[in-house]
Amino acid sequence: MAGRQLKEIFRAFHARDELAFRRAAMEIIEEEQAKHHNALARDLQKLLVAGGGSLDPGSTIVVPAPPKDREGEWDLGEVREPEHLLEDLVLQDAVSLVLENVVEEVRQWPALDAAGLPRRQRLLLQGPPGCGKTTAAEAIAVELGRPLLMVRLDAVVSSYLGETSSNLRRIFEYADQAPFVVLFDEFDALGRSRDDASEHGEMKRVVSAFLQMTDRYRGPSLLLAATNHPALLDEALWRRFDEVLTFGLPTVHQIRQVLRLRLKGVAHSGLEINRYASALKGRPHAAAEKLVIDARRNALLRNSAVVMAQDVDRAMPGITARPW
């Protein structure tokens, strides 16, 4: 193990510079891997992940600020400590399975690399709004003990020609520095120029630049792209991702599950879950969640600690009337 990396680890510890710490730790792991010290590399990798992603949970962690645009005006991304867990989500079995497998696989990247097997590092999450794409990205980050880098596409997309691609490059360089889960949420917005929707050529160039950067990316982060509008995406685009996960609308049974999950630990009496689930048919998971929140608010406003059928019935019209 090189003295340089050891010094870097000690320095990072004192500076509470988590990114520098992780970078040095990853270098050490990769070096051990290259020496075919596979068991040691795997143990180190596990220890790095098991820490829950922080040097010292009791202290504030310094993650270098995400990059800004050329004028230094806008943050191009936001680092979040994610909170949601995979078990908070009601998903199709096939989707859960892939998510769980990918999480396990990311932990084993050094072993995959050593065996010359390709990583699944680029995932596309697609489906209608309110079915769990953003939340799943957060949950993956929690499971991996990694910070979530939410790319701010509104800041990335610039009206200056060529500037959008440079902004993307800045994001990818940042994601090279340490193991993040990077989320390009609603990334189809890249295809929309800020000023002039008719600039079709520029739009295509930006999306293809994004795909190229995604393709070429060999850094330590897991890259996720999410879209509510799969129809907008080019045919060829799907092939660029290692997995395409569809977050579809819930069945009535799944709506019931979301209602039950969100009512867990909430005092309630006389609720007709089956009826509510049928009434919400065709609407996303988010609608079921909002019904419970609105009903709880109604109960609280009438000074009741217990959610009753009247609270749900008062909330329902608002939920079914709004577009999702």
Ligand X SMILES: Nc1ncnc2c1ncn2[C@@H]1O[C@H](COP(=O)(O)OP(=O)(O)O)[C@@H](O)[C@H]1O
Using the 8-state DSSP alphabet, how is residue 248 labeled?
Answer: P
Indicate whether 90 belongs to the interface with ligand X (CB under 6 A): yes
CB of 86 vs ligand X, minimal distance in Å: 10
Nearest CA among 35, 216, 13, 51 for reference residue 110 = 35
* Interacting residues with Mg ion (CB under 5 A): 133-134
Nearer to Mg ion, 23 or 122 (CB): 122
Point out which residues pair with 68 in neighbouring strands: 75
Indicate whether 223 belongs to the interface with ligand X (CB under 6 A): no
Residue 131 binding: pick among Mg ion, ligand X, none (C-beta 5-8 Å cut-off by kind):
ligand X
Indicate whether 248 belongs to the interface with ligand X (CB under 6 A): no
Strands (E), 54-212: 77-80, 122-126, 148-151, 181-184
Nearer to ligand X, 131 or 280 (CB): 131
Nearer to ligand X, 90 or 295 (CB): 90
Q: Is 28 exposed, middle or buried (0-12, 13-18, 19+ CB in 10 A)?
A: buried
- What is the total count of residues that contact ligand X (CB under 6 A)? 15
Structure tokens of 75?
Answer: 């943050």
Indicate whether 129 belongs to the interface with ligand X (CB under 6 A): yes
Binding residue (CB under 6 A) for ligand X from 53, 110, 132, 179: 132
CB of 295 vs ligand X, minimal distance in Å: 15
Indicate whether 130 belongs to the interface with ligand X (CB under 6 A): yes
Q: What is the DSSP string of 258-293?
A: HHHHHHTT--EES--HHHHHHHTTTS-HHHHHHHHH
Rounded distance between C-alpha atoms, residue 214 and residue 233, angstroms: 16
Indicate whether 256 belongs to the interface with ligand X (CB under 6 A): no
Rounded distance between C-alpha atoms, residue 145 and residue 45, angstroms: 12
Nearer to ligand X, 139 or 203 (CB): 139
Pairing of strands 307-308, 222-227: unpaired
CB of 214 vs Mg ion, minimal distance in Å: 19
Nearer to ligand X, 135 or 298 (CB): 135
Indicate whether 285 belongs to the interface with ligand X (CB under 6 A): yes
Do 256 and 277 touch, CB atoms closer than 8 A? yes
Please give the residue ranges that form the binding site for ligand X (CB under 6 A): 89-91, 129-135, 247, 258, 285-286, 289
